Structure 1
Amino acid sequence: MAMRDTLDFLLYGWLQSESLNQRERFADHSRETFDAVLDTCERIAREKFAPVNRLLDTQEPHFDGERVHLPQATREALDAYVESGMLSAAQDYENGGMQLPCTVEMAANAFFSKACIALGGYAMLTNGNANLLMAHGTPRQREVFAKAEFEGRWFGTMCLSEPQAGSSLSDVATRAEPDGADSENDPLGPRYRLRGHKMWISAGEHELRENIVHLVLAKIPGPDGKPVPGVRGISLFIVPKWLVDAEGQLTGERNDVVLAGLNHKLGYRGTTNCLLNFGEGRHQPGGQGGAIGYRVGAPGEGLKAMFHMMNEARIGVGLGATMLGYAGYEASLAYARQRPQGRPLTATGKDAASPQRPIIEHADVKRMLLAQKSYVEGALALELFCARLVDEQHTAEAEAAGRARLLLEVLIPIAKSWPSEWCLEANSLAIQVLGGYGYTRDFPVEQHWRDNRLNMIHEGTHGIQALDLLGRKVVMEGGAALMALARRINETISAAGQVPGLAEAANQLAQALAQVGAATKAAWATGEPEAALANATPYLQAFGHTVLAWIWLDVVLALAPDDTRDFAQGKRAAQAYFFAYELPRIAAWLAVVQRREALCREMQDAWF
């Protein structure tokens, strides 16, 4: 079945997205307007993004010492995306938006991620940058910077990591000093001069738009004139590539932000990835050294503001990983249906005179395809569910909005990490289905794997997501988020227990949920973080598999019991596969968590 059929079912049959039109914010919309957005994005992705995916992989960005060069097709495809209005799709009408639900916005962006993930990176970063400024910026910052980004005139980035400080943001060394006695009175916000280096900056340098808005984490002087240690000392700054005036017009003066070099990546090559130097002195804005930046929010609250963009990016990464997995699944499914290999086994052996059969008829190939289907369709459902929680948080009545906030908090590490691991596994299985052909560049599945391998690393590595889940999310507010999720899962268990054919799965999910709860308590039984978190990654894997089992059970509950279409039977088979082959894995993962296995924590360097 085409991905669009699954997308429509998840949106309308499962998440009941049409009901959002009853809320004031979305009252002008209908199923017809939602479908029109999906149709437009599907067409642009098919006509503009997909045809250049291989080109952007083979002609990666290069730097001539002055400018970064990209294929012309990059600009043309992004122009089409900007013209679609999707950069501001969820924004208020007065800000040039469509007031689309986040659920529909994410569904529409799925087409772009599937067609060419590298192009989608520019859009995701720009949208997230502007959304952060809408939430934490001043009215003038929103008007000048966010508006230009929503219009697609400027693109944006996030600048967190440094060569010596990747995930350890408390160790950032970039410094920001007030730019003169009147720095607090600049119309664009308190003005500073930044000096330092930032690493792994996606979309950090290009000529695709007239300006690039960098959001930069840096430390400012404390009361004693020295930087405040730890994350409490981090502030957030808008640092444009080209300086602008208070009305948002380019002044023609280059800011002191310089490309030090491009990173040459395994995949995801169409998005530039950069090392940037701030304040190295090559440019002297205002006749002085240091990159000019405008503080966003209060001093010392930079990381809090940046998490607004980071959390959006984590869901975006999860969607990207999902769609790369989906692309590989579709490619390997099409191949398996037309590739003849082998003959049926009979009691007397193979009949060499009989015709070969398509490899999709072999049980092991079906296993690999069914695994892919369970991973990618389940992950897509998870990402759309998280998007629906965003809509609930912002437009539902207070009690429901509060529940949505808690659910989203605990699910964000899963929304980022689970597709990054298991849709990557789907890409590996797609290569396996194609055999030797899959390992060549004559087929797209090897690029899907290379592109997807980044997603376990950026926007918080797998291990970071695990620490966030077990170290913060499941214990936050006295375990309120975990309990909210357990209640929601139990609702599905109760409903499934009443449906013929699903009672056994409901019991299996109930047992898995109980195992996760027991392991959570056991991990923290001593109250020692080092002991509790030593096995955070197996916990993340078990937690994620439990969540996906719940998602699948909830999805098949939305099918009519008498629906015998191939589409419905395929969904039921994917759910059954996940419960038969995947959910049993959690026992081994949770065993080391429950006994607080010390092996990895106590392993000595010299023993390696």
Structure 2
Amino acid sequence: MAGLLDRRELDFLLYELLDTAALPGRPRYREHSREVFDTAIDLFARIAAAQFAPYYRKGDVEEPHFDGERVHLIPETQVAWDTLRASGFLKAHCDEAEGGLQLPEIVLRAAMAHLMVANGPATAYPFLTLGVINLLRAFGSEAQKARYLGPLMDGECAGTMALTEPDQGSALGDIRTRAEPQPDGSYRLFGQKMFISGGEHELSANIVHMVLARIAGAPAGARGISLFLVPKWLPGDGDGDIDVEAAGTPAARSARRNDVALAGLLHKMGQRNSVTTVLNFGEAGGAVGYLVGAAGRGLACMFQMMNEARIGVGLNAAATALRGYRYALDYARSRKQGRPASHKQPLSPQVALTAHADVRRMLLAQKAYAEGGLALCLYASALFEDERTHPEAAARQRAGELLDLLTPVVKSWPAKYGFAANDLAIQVLGGAGYTREHPVEQLLRDQRINAIHEGTEGIHGLDLLGRKLRQHGGAGFGHLRAEVAATVAAARAEAVLAPLAVALETHWRLLDDTSTALLAAQAADIDRALANATAYLDVFGRVVMGWLWLRQACIAVRRLADLGAGADGGDGAGAEDEREGASEAHFYRGKLQAARWYLAWELPAIVPLCRLLGDGDTVAYEMRDAWFG
């Protein structure tokens, strides 16, 4: 089916760019092999194609609705959830002792990419549940793990994260939901949360909400925020003594409903099959909740799930862009329209859209954005894996510091440029792309939310420039500098890549100088220095992507040499098509050409931005509310 993730592309990223095949050399994965990884990915790819992709459109047209008592989803969503949980997906990354497959993080995310390409909105339910599983594994008490981890891992429970409130968005330190301690050690929660994905449904027997709230008497600000586990259903007598055997199972249906009420569904521009809710806690005496982690450490705990979700949002953005790109490419190859300017005869056959230079430009931009975004997200997953399982302590620390620095970029860059890719997909189809007869208009609508949830671009710009750049004493930026330098040196060794190496090195120096200037400016006037943080985020992301594309180009040139094929295709494409390895040569030339395009057309766009940032332009900062008219 057009639009599903190309396995050759995934193999390139996993095994050529990121060396995932080396992971079985680590103690945690000694029982695994590349064959095991591939088998797992293939399984979830088949589930994606069979159970997720076919109802992508239907989930948009027949969006969830609330009849006053129940939230109704199309039945295909239930089938997809049941199939996925029966496959063991939700516990695939968990320890073998927990019933999991002990798969590496990067393999799990590669499998998730297949699901997201097939049907991004439907992946919200397993995506959030994975986050809750990981949160409980890290910070839950032994009793909480015993009660809820099994049902979550088996899909009898689903999970959510409940952060945002109607009178605050990203300012989590200002939340007002309150938690009142009870004699039995539980709490009663009172407040309202909104934009809660998966907040109410019947896909699973129970839902576990991870809720941020302020314990009565806690200090103002972030230090007063705690994290609570609030189940939809309370097995047992509701006094806090949860029946381990019943927790999260169908038996919970006969138990007491917790005081969590659906106030309404939100009707969205896209991602419609992912139900988004407003939830009221404590309308009838207080929602029973259980403290997760230490009191006052809620944000610190929740940031694990938030950062995991940020990488997941980037992955969803890349996947949505990839589906649009593949669909536009297939359409352009089959659609005959017009003739090149050099064809003067009006009766000469029309040519495919790919014969037109401007269409190839749009497709090449999509390729650079979509494949680049996937590379960035899987690279982040590889860093996450290294931080946890690399055998060397120094390497674990380095990976964690680099991941901390790059997380704002991983979340934001694929969302911004994935939207640009999906916009170009519509343009390739022309008028047909603007109609609902093709999926590219839905993909654009579905993509739009990725620049908003888990922090807007502005929030992540502030995070990167105001915090992450100097975090760990600037170690993350130093690691990135070393990575870029190593790639530049490798590229210089290849004559065909020397101009690209010069381009990346030149623009890296510009980013480095701009970063130094902006850090110094923060000491004088932090608000003014951070006023253009979003522009800095864009500059940073463009350079990081230039580095990743040059890394891919280095691999492509070496592989082409191994195939005995020229990097420029000048050895005769027609003759090559008759030789073994032709498709491989085409694949690597495509990589090289995308790198050339990105470094020639996208990277130089940072020059005027860096000039404005370095000059400290304050036009937007100095604007006043009254002047808007």
TM > 0.5 between the two? yes
2:7 is aligned with what amino acid? R
Q: Deviations over 1:458-495 (max 9, x none)?
A: 01111111111111101112211111111111111111
Q: Deviations over 1:239-261 (max 9, x none)?
A: 00001314152370010000000
Quote the residue 2:568 is aligned against: none
Gaps spanning 5+ residues in structure 2: where?
Answer: 236-241, 247-251, 566-584
User: Contact 1:145 / 1:248 at 8 angstroms: preserved in 2?
Assistant: no
**Rounded Cα–Cα distance in structure 2 between residues aligned with 1:77 and 1:276:** 25
Quote the residue 2:374 is aligned against: 380
**Rounded Cα–Cα distance in structure 1 between residues aligned with 2:46 and 2:462:** 40
In structure 2, relative to structure 1, the CA distance for the partners of 1:248 and 1:303 (3 Å cut) is: farther
Any runs of at least 4 consecutive aligned residues in structure 1 with deviations exceeding 3 A, and if so which?
A: none
User: Contact 1:439 / 1:446 at 8 angstroms: preserved in 2?
Assistant: yes
SS of the aligned residue for 1:66 comes to coil
Quote the residue 1:186 is aligned against: none
Q: Say whether 1:572 aligns with 2:598.
A: no
Q: Say whether 1:328 aligns with 2:286.
A: no
Quote the residue 1:241 is aligned against: 232
* Residue 47 of structure 1, CA deviation: 0.7
Q: Deviations over 1:307-337 (max 9, x none)?
A: 0000000000000000000000001001101
User: Contact 2:367 / 2:594 at 8 angstroms: preserved in 1?
Assistant: yes
1:400 is aligned with what amino acid? A
SS of the aligned residue for 2:520 comes to coil
**Rounded Cα–Cα distance in structure 1 between residues aligned with 2:163 and 2:617:** 33
Quote the residue 1:285 is aligned against: none
Q: Deviations over 1:158-217 (max 9, x none)?
A: 00000001111111010001013x32xxxxxxx100000001000000011110000000
Quote the residue 2:249 is aligned against: none
Q: Say whether 1:497 aligns with 2:492.
A: yes
Quote the residue 2:503 is aligned against: 508
**Rounded Cα–Cα distance in structure 2 between residues aligned with 1:588 and 1:304:** 37
User: Contact 1:57 / 1:268 at 8 angstroms: preserved in 2?
Assistant: yes
**Rounded Cα–Cα distance in structure 2 between residues aligned with 1:522 and 1:246:** 59
Q: Say whether 1:364 aligns with 2:334.
A: no
Quote the residue 2:621 is aligned against: 601
In structure 2, relative to structure 1, the CA distance for the partners of 1:606 and 1:350 (3 Å cut) is: farther
Equivalent of residue 50 in structure 1, options 45, 53, 65: 53
Q: Deviations over 1:223-242 (max 9, x none)?
A: xxxx4111110000000000
Q: Deviations over 1:273-325 (max 9, x none)?
A: 000000011xxxxxxx1000000011100000000000000000000000000
SS of the aligned residue for 1:123 comes to helix
* Residue 524 of structure 1, CA deviation: 2.4
Identity %: 48
Quote the residue 1:533 is aligned against: 530
**Rounded Cα–Cα distance in structure 2 between residues aligned with 1:31 and 1:129:** 28
**Rounded Cα–Cα distance in structure 2 between residues aligned with 1:570 and 1:83:** 38
**Rounded Cα–Cα distance in structure 1 between residues aligned with 2:143 and 2:554:** 48
**Rounded Cα–Cα distance in structure 1 between residues aligned with 2:554 and 2:109:** 23
Q: How does 1:332-347 map to 2 (within 5 A)?
A: 332-346=328-342
* Residue 543 of structure 1, CA deviation: 0.2
Equivalent of residue 354 in structure 1, options 348, 354, 374: 348
2:624 is aligned with what amino acid? Q
Quote the residue 2:385 is aligned against: 391
* Residue 344 of structure 1, CA deviation: 2.2
In structure 2, relative to structure 1, the CA distance for the partners of 1:147 and 1:499 (3 Å cut) is: same
**Rounded Cα–Cα distance in structure 2 between residues aligned with 1:8 and 1:537:** 33
Quote the residue 2:442 is aligned against: 447
* Residue 525 of structure 1, CA deviation: 2.1
Q: Say whether 1:555 aligns with 2:552.
A: yes
Quote the residue 2:25 is aligned against: 22
Quote the residue 1:301 is aligned against: 297
User: Contact 1:317 / 1:416 at 8 angstroms: preserved in 2?
Assistant: yes
RMSD (Å) for aligned C-alpha atoms: 1.2
**Rounded Cα–Cα distance in structure 2 between residues aligned with 1:96 and 1:470:** 42
Q: Say whether 1:462 aligns with 2:457.
A: yes
SS of the aligned residue for 1:345 comes to coil
1:375 is aligned with what amino acid? Y
1:591 is aligned with what amino acid? R
2:14 is aligned with what amino acid? L
1:258 is aligned with what amino acid? A
User: Contact 1:235 / 1:300 at 8 angstroms: preserved in 2?
Assistant: yes
User: Contact 1:410 / 1:469 at 8 angstroms: preserved in 2?
Assistant: yes
**Rounded Cα–Cα distance in structure 2 between residues aligned with 1:517 and 1:597:** 18
User: Contact 1:523 / 1:531 at 8 angstroms: preserved in 2?
Assistant: no
Which has the higher mean CA deviation after the structures are superposed, 137-146 or 271-280?
Answer: 137-146
Q: Deviations over 1:83-131 (max 9, x none)?
A: 1211111110011111111111111111100000111110110000110
**Rounded Cα–Cα distance in structure 2 between residues aligned with 1:235 and 1:420:** 30
Q: Say whether 1:585 aligns with 2:582.
A: no
- TM norm structure 2: 0.92
User: Contact 2:131 / 2:308 at 8 angstroms: preserved in 1?
Assistant: yes
Q: Deviations over 1:344-395 (max 9, x none)?
A: 222xx73211111111110000000000001111111111111111111111
**Rounded Cα–Cα distance in structure 2 between residues aligned with 1:484 and 1:221:** 43
**Rounded Cα–Cα distance in structure 1 between residues aligned with 2:437 and 2:232:** 39
**Rounded Cα–Cα distance in structure 2 between residues aligned with 1:315 and 1:147:** 25
User: Contact 1:509 / 1:549 at 8 angstroms: preserved in 2?
Assistant: yes
Gaps spanning 5+ residues in structure 1: where?
Answer: 184-190, 282-288
User: Contact 1:497 / 1:503 at 8 angstroms: preserved in 2?
Assistant: yes
Equivalent of residue 427 in structure 2, options 424, 427, 432: 432
Q: How does 1:85-124 map to 2 (within 5 A)?
A: 85-124=88-127
SS of the aligned residue for 2:31 comes to coil
Equivalent of residue 253 in structure 1, options 227, 240, 256: 256
1:173 is aligned with what amino acid? R
User: Contact 2:263 / 2:277 at 8 angstroms: preserved in 1?
Assistant: yes
